[in-house]
């Protein structure tokens, strides 16, 4: 379990009695002095009912009236930014919170490097900036839509509560982006804000913008893999946008990253607890071979090779979210100073990259090669590499658990080119260990590498609700500790 992520839920970092910057008397809690901008306030107030309709239509199905023990952001002070309490989700206080302004902040990268950051939209980059914000914004409601049926099969009230926490915070992230659109982009911004409520994940005629956000999240293993791997794409994108020279975007994203840490924690511990339940059940039954799947599944737990296949799927579709590895749009956004790299400030180069190169892996003439490419055009490739490195920590911790039980199995990340639809490897068939395959070889192997029909049917059979306090499904171990110092058998969700 990541210490960093666990910290978010400890009482030391969350105190209940600090209500500093945010006034909850306002219809829309905020620390952006909304009440002084009548026009903006009016625009947001007129967007609000449509948002609530969207939430009721597309938010968690069947639990709108339940009292959920939720964290609500009440400020941006790292020492005490949230409070916990029972809330019905439609009454959640979705607010607009920006990280504090850094005095004297300058544009960290690109051709304007060193100039003061922009507080207003730079006219020449207006449409590029709007596009970046809309793409980020679109992912937020999309994941809520993808996860809307999961409450019914929650493996415990603790997990159900975590699902709903992630959902309401993705809703808040939508608010954060809509604030930027409405405040800074006038009529176009209002139209974009409306369109965000109209697109639907997986819908043929008006889908969400990015592929992975149109996939289904049909079961809890998918949810945990999604929050570990796909919310981590969110983390990387937010980190890159936090480097933006457009200061309101930077400040918005910096605060969103605080909430994102919990989403990653839910994913990491969700998969980790699944691994733990599997290993413990195998040990108890005296099974040492991780590939003895028939016997293992009879124990009501998920075999480790199936978890690897699930992970392979989520890793590969999430890698596609980074876009083409070599991209002139990404170069433009970086050079304009609208989006930086991961950890931009700590990188030891000139932050302009006019003369630099970056090694990019590509499939050329039937071989996988690494070629030096102008660094500016390889911005996406670099962010993808940073993402892949960032994924490894949790995987190592899952492997530690398996090792502790003495089971001979290790999770691994598939090759970068495995199962890709976008970028350098699109159109190629590549095995998890990085071999270029013929179509026939791919067809023969894919059931070993990606969840197959039998896997999906088995997972489906496990998804039985455990909705009594302290009850946990067979396939997942209880957490080591509860939320906000509450016990693991706390009534995290009060269903009617």
Q: How far is the CB of 173 from Fe ion (least distance, A)?
A: 4
- Residue 31 near residue 37 (C-beta atoms within 8 A): no
SS3 content of the chain, % helix, strand, coil (to 5): 50, 10, 40
Record the tokens describing residue 127, joined without a space.
């449409």
Of the candidate residues 159, 192, 231, 344, the single one contacting Fe ion (CB under 5 A)? 231
Q: How far is the CB of 225 from Fe ion (least distance, A)?
A: 14
If the CB atoms of residues 219 and 233 are measured against Fe ion, the closer one turns out to be 233
If the CB atoms of residues 4 and 37 are measured against Fe ion, the closer one turns out to be 4
**Burial category of 107 from C-beta neighbours within 10 Å (exposed 0-12, middle 13-18, buried 19 and up):** buried
Task: Find the distance separating the first CA and the last CA of the chain, reported in whole Å.
Answer: 33
**Total residues at interface with Fe ion (CB under 5 A):** 7
- Give the footprint of Fe ion on residues 68-107 (CB under 5 A): none
Q: How far is the CB of 257 from Fe ion (least distance, A)?
A: 9
If the CB atoms of residues 231 and 276 are measured against Fe ion, the closer one turns out to be 231
DSSP assignments along 323-383, one per residue: --SS-HHHHHHHHTTSS--TTGGG--S-SS-SS-EEEEEEEETTEEEEEEEEGGGGHHHHH
Helix-helix angle 304-319:453-462, to 10 degrees:
110
Record the tokens describing residue 241, joined without a space.
């946008």
If the CB atoms of residues 231 and 344 are measured against Fe ion, the closer one turns out to be 231
If the CB atoms of residues 232 and 309 are measured against Fe ion, the closer one turns out to be 232
CA-CA distance, 145 to 58, in Å (whole number)?
A: 5
**Part in contact with Fe ion (CB under 5 A); list of ranges 244-252, 253-261, 384-392, 480-488:** 253-261
Q: How far is the CB of 231 from Fe ion (least distance, A)?
A: 4
**Part in contact with Fe ion (CB under 5 A); list of ranges 98-106, 162-170, 414-422, 469-477:** 162-170
Q: How far is the CB of 49 from Fe ion (least distance, A)?
A: 22
CA-CA distance, 182 to 15, in Å (whole number)?
A: 32
**Part in contact with Fe ion (CB under 5 A); list of ranges 72-80, 163-171, 311-319, 378-386:** 163-171
If the CB atoms of residues 231 and 303 are measured against Fe ion, the closer one turns out to be 231
Contacts of 284 (CB under 8 A, 6+ apart): none
If the CB atoms of residues 174 and 353 are measured against Fe ion, the closer one turns out to be 174
To which residue do tokens 């945010």 refer? 22
Q: How far is the CB of 247 from Fe ion (least distance, A)?
A: 20
Strand, coil or helix: 30: strand
Q: How far is the CB of 180 from Fe ion (least distance, A)?
A: 14
Contact status: 130 vs Fe ion (CB under 5 A) = no
Q: Tally the residues of the chain.
A: 496
Contact status: 263 vs Fe ion (CB under 5 A) = yes
Q: How far is the CB of 73 from Fe ion (least distance, A)?
A: 13
Residue 251: φ, ψ to 5°: -70, -35
Q: How far is the CB of 229 from Fe ion (least distance, A)?
A: 12
If the CB atoms of residues 221 and 266 are measured against Fe ion, the closer one turns out to be 266
CA-CA distance, 104 to 179, in Å (whole number)?
A: 24
If the CB atoms of residues 118 and 213 are measured against Fe ion, the closer one turns out to be 213
Q: Which of 480, 469, 463 is nearest to 69 (CA)?
A: 469
- Give the footprint of Fe ion on residues 131-150 (CB under 5 A): 140
**Part in contact with Fe ion (CB under 5 A); list of ranges 33-41, 166-174, 302-310, 384-392:** 166-174
Q: How far is the CB of 318 from Fe ion (least distance, A)?
A: 12
- Give the footprint of Fe ion on residues 332-371 (CB under 5 A): none
- Residue 138 near residue 193 (C-beta atoms within 8 A): no
Of the candidate residues 173, 199, 232, 309, the single one contacting Fe ion (CB under 5 A)? 173
Contacts of 272 (CB under 8 A, 6+ apart): 1, 394, 397, 398, 401
If the CB atoms of residues 173 and 382 are measured against Fe ion, the closer one turns out to be 173
The residues that touch Fe ion, with contacts defined as CB under 5 A, are 140, 170, 173, 231, 234, 260, 263
């Amino acid at each position: 379990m990541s210490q960093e992520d666990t910290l978010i839920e400890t009482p030391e970092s969350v105190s209940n009695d600090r209500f500093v910057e945010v006034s909850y008397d306002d219809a829309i809690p905020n620390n952006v002095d909304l009440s002084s901008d009548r026009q903006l306030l009016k625009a947001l107030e007129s967007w609000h009912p449509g948002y609530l309709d969207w939430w009721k239509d597309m938010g968690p199905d069947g639990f709108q009236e339940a009292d959920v023990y939720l964290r609500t952001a009440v400020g941006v002070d790292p020492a005490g930014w949230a409070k916990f309490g029972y809330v019905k989700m439609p009454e959640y206080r979705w607010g607009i919170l920006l990280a504090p302004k850094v005095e004297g902040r300058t544009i960290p990268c690109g051709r304007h490097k060193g100039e003061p950051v922009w507080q207003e939209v730079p006219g020449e980059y207006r449409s590029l900036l709007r596009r970046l914000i809309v793409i980020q914004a679109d992912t937020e409601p999309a994941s809520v839509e993808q996860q809307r049926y999961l409450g019914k099969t929650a493996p415990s009230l603790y997990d159900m509560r975590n699902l709903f926490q992630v959902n309401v915070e993705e809703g808040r992230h939508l608010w954060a982006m809509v604030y930027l659109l409405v405040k800074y982009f006038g009529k176009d911004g209002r139209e974009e804000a409306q369109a965000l409520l109209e697109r639907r994940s997986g819908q043929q005629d008006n889908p969400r913008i990015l592929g992975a956000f149109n996939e289904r999240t049909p079961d809890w293993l998918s949810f945990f893999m999604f929050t570990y791997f796909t919310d981590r794409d969110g983390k990387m994108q937010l980190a890159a946008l936090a480097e933006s020279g457009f200061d309101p975007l930077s400040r918005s994203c910096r605060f969103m990253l605080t909430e994102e840490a919990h989403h990653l924690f839910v994913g990491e511990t969700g998969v980790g607890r699944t691994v733990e339940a599997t290993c413990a059940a195998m040990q108890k039954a005296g099974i040492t071979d991780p590939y003895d799947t028939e016997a293992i599944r009879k124990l009501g737990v998920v075999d480790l090779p199936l978890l690897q296949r699930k992970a392979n799927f989520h890793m590969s579709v999430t890698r596609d979210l980074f876009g083409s590895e070599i991209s002139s749009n990404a170069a433009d956004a970086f050079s304009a100073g609208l989006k930086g790299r991961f950890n931009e400030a700590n990188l030891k180069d000139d932050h302009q990259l006019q003369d630099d190169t970056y090694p990019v892996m590509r499939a050329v003439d039937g071989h996988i090669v690494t070629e030096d490419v102008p660094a500016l055009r390889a911005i996406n490739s670099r962010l993808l590499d940073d993402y892949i490195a960032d994924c490894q920590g949790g995987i190592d911790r899952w492997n530690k658990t398996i090792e502790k039980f003495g089971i001979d199995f290790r999770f691994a990340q598939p090759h970068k080119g495995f199962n890709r639809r976008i970028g350098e490897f699109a159109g190629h068939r590549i095995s998890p260990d990085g071999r270029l395959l013929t179509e026939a070889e791919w067809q023969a192997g894919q059931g070993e590498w990606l969840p197959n029909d039998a896997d999906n049917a088995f997972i489906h059979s496990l998804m039985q609700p455990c909705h009594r306090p302290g009850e946990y499904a067979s396939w997942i171990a209880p957490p080591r500790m509860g939320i906000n110092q509450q016990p693991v058998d706390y009534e995290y969700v009060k269903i009617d």
